[in-house]
Amino acid sequence: MDLTIGEVAKRSGLSVHALRFYEREGLFANPVRRLSNGRRIYHQEDLEWLAICTKLRSSGMSLAMIRQYIELVRQGPGNEHERLELLRRHEGHVEARIRELQGALDVMRHKVRVYEDHVVRGEADRLWNPSRPDAAAGEGAVR
């Protein structure tokens, strides 16, 4: 089933501009086909690849790494170990980023609890205020 760029944009959630960018950057698994009038034609496998590709991007995989991966895919069988190593390497980066974000979330949750407690008790003015040096006295980690 042939799909237009507008249909692919709607189904994938990507803009037409983003689809053209992905094509220019060589991020499609297969070359984008065109009609004799130059209009782009996509197929279901293009949508399936875009779903994977957008997850790789949202996980922080660089365009260069995606290009490297897709080039290995295009080469066909025989380089599965290289693909696996590339994916494992990125998996490690994603796991490290998740740990980093979890630490940030833990701090934010603590800060929210501290502020909620101070607001409920009517003591919000005791929270750290850089324009009032005396407000920080004795506050410690409450800031």
| Phi, psi angles (nearest 5°) of residue 114 | -60, -45
Does residue 143 carry a pLDDT above 90? no
Decide: helix, strand or coil at residue 24.
Answer: helix
Alpha-carbon gap, residue 13 to 33, rounded angstroms: 20
Query: Residues near 83 by Cβ (< 8 Å), separated by ≥ 6?
Result: 69, 72, 73
Task: Tell the residue number behind the tokens 């380089």, with chain if given.
Answer: 79
Q: Which helix (H) or strand (E) holds 41?
A: strand 40-41
Q: What is the pLDDT of residues 68-123, one digit of tens each?
A: 999 999 999 999 999 999 999 999 999 999 999 999 999 999 999 999 999 999 98
Work out the pLDDT band at 142, boundaries 50, 70, 90. Answer: low
Burial (CB count within 10 angstroms: exposed 0-12, middle 13-18, buried 19+), residue 8: buried
Domain range 1-76, its CATH number among 3.50.50.60, 1.10.1660.10, 1.20.120.80, 3.90.1310.10: 1.10.1660.10
User: Tokens 């760029």 correspond to what residue?
Assistant: 5
C-alpha distance across the termini of the chain, in Å: 59
Domain coordinates in residue numbering, the chain: 1-76
E strand segments, 71-140:
none
For 16-50, how does the pLDDT look when each residue is reduced to its tens digit (9 = 90+)? 999 999 999 999 988 899 999 999 999 999 999 99
Q: Could you count the other beta carbons within 10 Å of the beta carbon of residue 105?
A: 10
